Amino acid sequence: MSAADGPLVVGVDSSTQSTKVLVVDAATGTVLARGRAPHTVSTGPGRESDPRQWWSALTEALRQCGDVAREAAAVSVAGQQHGLVTLDADGAPVRPALLWNDVRPAPQNARLIEELGGTKAWAERTGSVPAPAFTAAKWVWLREHEPDAAAATAAVRLPHDYLTERLTGHATTDRGDASGTGWWAGPTEAYDEEILSLVDLDPALLPRIVRPGEVAGTVRDLPELPFAKGTLVAAGTGDNAAAALGLGLRPGTPVLSLGTSGTVYAVSRQRPADPTGTVAGFADARGDWLPLACTLNCTLAVDRIAALLGLDREAVEPGGGATLLPFLDGERTPNLPDASGLLHGLRHDTSGGQLLQAAYDGAVFALLQALDLVLDVDAGADPAPEAPLLLIGGGARGTAWQQTVRRLSGRPVQVPDADEPVALGAAAQAAGLLTGEDPAAVARRWGSARGPVLDPVARDEETLQRISTLLTDAGPLLGNLGRLSA
């Protein structure tokens, strides 16, 4: 037996590129074991991944945790949002999943917005103006481009739904992840039958929505996993909602997440409805809301620029007048799905390190632009302007990322000690099943948001203005000029 003060829980983070697992003491939040295994993502015209890889990665990550995982009393799975998982009548994938960063459905998405009455109608109905990332547009794309695959589909799932269903044998999802599909309505907290009809999707193909705090099921007999049959399984949720749980967020506290994508969000008690589409009105995993803005290009794009320059990702240099918009995968904020990278202001004396810093600046700029809009959803809960931004995700511990966020925001930055907030949030959700607590309160009891605070520095207005001007002047050309691609 492990030396734990309370029952053990397992939190899973099935992200774009890997699955992470934490075994956590539910009483103290102490991480007793951890594991990690990679996924493969296609590099063709779209972004796809075989869901069976996620299950294999979960199995491997749990194996790395050793015998302590066998003592878990509850488990919860958080996963990347929006992905379209299509299963046949036997529960096997019909084709690889279309991931959140697959922008091929942009034409279908634009048509959907128009067919339901425009952006305002979508925002009022679902809380969000759908983007090509959303599951609804992906389903329409599949029906049009691969009708045989769509016809063979007997079940439509999100990534976290797929793993939870394999654990329990029951088709379930939660409000947090469902709110990113485009066919879940915020006012009713249920699937929207008119939108399902619009995208030609039978609601019988969708999972049941599990309420916050409700048990999704129990682990069935699975010899490849260490869990005992009957282990409790929580509802799970999307990755951003899980991170909000893992940080124990209170309304109004801003978060910047620096991963493959970049996100900025805050918990709100008011249902968002931004008709511009900049802020997505997602639900959280507790019963509140999670207004969120997302960019497609963050750490992966900056790392690609570093590789093209032959530099280490930290080898930035100050100065220079170059501006770089690293929209290598198209972009979601601003909404430029066909964009490519744009470089402006290159001179003979521009160094590689200055170009790399310009890539960081361009990646952070869009997130900070959306921050005020995210917080404005629940302005009364916004902490004082000097309150630190919580910086999480794979880039959060990078010095160049930290300094860029400080310089362009003018705010202090706090980097939580907990390095896997998504998996930790899933673990807190699992712990809540055992204790009856609010999962966010569990995380606050664990102290998971504690960490060093970096003092603010003067806001770099010159760089912000330069990027803003380039984006305004060159916006119509971003799909054609200045290409920086692999």
Catalytic residues: 239
**Torsion (CA) 37, 219, 174, 16 in degrees, nearest 10:** 10
Based on its alpha-carbon atoms, the radius of gyration of the chain, rounded to whole angstroms, reads 21
**Rounded to an integer, what distance in angstroms lies between the CA atom of residue 216 and that of residue 319?**
54
Nearest-5° Cα angle at 148, 145 to 154: 115
Q: How far is CA 273 from CA 127, 129, 185, 282, 457, in A?
A: 5, 8, 11, 10, 33
Place of tokens 């770099």: 460
Alpha-carbon gap, residue 370 to 318, rounded angstroms: 25
Secondary structure letter of residue 11 according to DSSP: E
Q: What angle do CA 278, 471, 339 make, to 5 degrees?
A: 75
Q: 159-168 vs 51-65: helix axis angle to the nearest 10?
A: 60
Tokens describing residue 327: 């929209």
What is d(CA 285, CA 242) in angstroms, rounded to the nearest whole number?
7
Return the DSSP state at 217.
E
The string of DSSP codes covering 278-318 is SSEEEE-SSSSEEEEEEES-SHHHHHHHHHHHT--TT----
The dihedrals phi and psi of 272, each to the nearest 5 degrees, come to: -75, 155
How far apart CA 379 and CA 145 sit, in angstroms, is 43
Is 154 within 8 Å of 205 (Cβ atoms)? yes
